[in-house]
Amino acid sequence: MKLKVNKNLCNGCEVCTEICPSVFEMQEDGLAGVKDNADYGPCVASEAIDNCPVEAISKDG
Ligand code: F3S
């Protein structure tokens, strides 16, 4: 499962980068995004989705 960040909702809290640092990064806009070379192996996707305080993370595809 791939993930995506809705930048219209993200508030830059950085929780996702702590939970799944292999997938998420903070970007130049101050918001989270999915890395170009995201490695989903170590990331529990449901944990990232459930812990974003503004529900900005969702399945991508
Ligand atoms: Fe943004 Fe949610 Fe991550 S608010 S920084 S996508 S935990």
Residue 61's pLDDT is 85
- The atom number, within ligand 1, closest to the CA of 57 reads 6
- For ligand 1, say whether the CB of 16 is within 6 Å of any of its atoms: yes
The long-range contacts involving 13-16, CB below 8 angstroms and separated by at least 24 positions, are 13/52, 13/53, 13/54, 15/51, 15/52, 15/53, 16/48, 16/51, 16/52, 16/57
Distance 61 CA to ligand 1 centre (A): 19
Residue 1 has pLDDT above 90, yes or no: no
- For ligand 1, say whether the CB of 10 is within 6 Å of any of its atoms: yes
**Mean pLDDT of all residues in 39-58:** 97
pLDDT tens-digit series, residues 2-42: 999 999 999 999 999 999 999 999 999 999 999 999 999 99
Residue 18's pLDDT is 98
How many residues appear in the chain? 61
